[in-house]
Amino acid sequence: MIDSGMDVADCTGIAGVSLLLLAFFLSALGKLKTDTAVYTMMNFTGAVLAGIASFLIKYYPFVILESIWAAVALAGFIKLTAGKRNRLTEKSK
């Protein structure tokens, strides 16, 4: 077996940062709107993974940063889905 030198924190961090950057690039290129569930969940999931990786390596400033990032993304997702749910309820009346 080949030892890549990467541990769980490295792999988790790479996955998280990749999701965050992918969401950013897609929105910057106009391929993904920022007011979509996909965008907000990519940010939420990426921030959670990056936060876990930061916790594992005991780099607490980034744990704080990623926790806030995840909380804001989750709040955006809740607001987005609540707005869609309200519009669907109004249309069915």
Q: Could you tell me if residue 52 is inside a domain?
A: yes
Q: What is the pLDDT of residue 83?
A: 78
**Among residues of the chain, what percentage have pLDDT more than 90?**
80
Average pLDDT of the segment spanning 48-74: 98
Q: Which domain holds residue 69?
A: 8-91
Structural domains in the chain (count): 1
How wide is the angle at C-alpha 40 spanned by C-alphas 35 and 45, nearest 5°? 170
Rounded to whole angstroms, the Cα distance separating 11 from 13 reads 5
Residue 90 has pLDDT above 90, yes or no: no
Amino acid at 51: G
Q: Could you tell me if residue 1 is inside a domain?
A: no
- Residue 27's H or E segment, with its range, is helix 8-28
Whole-model pTM: value is: 0.85
Residue 74 has pLDDT above 90, yes or no: yes
Residue 85 has pLDDT above 90, yes or no: no
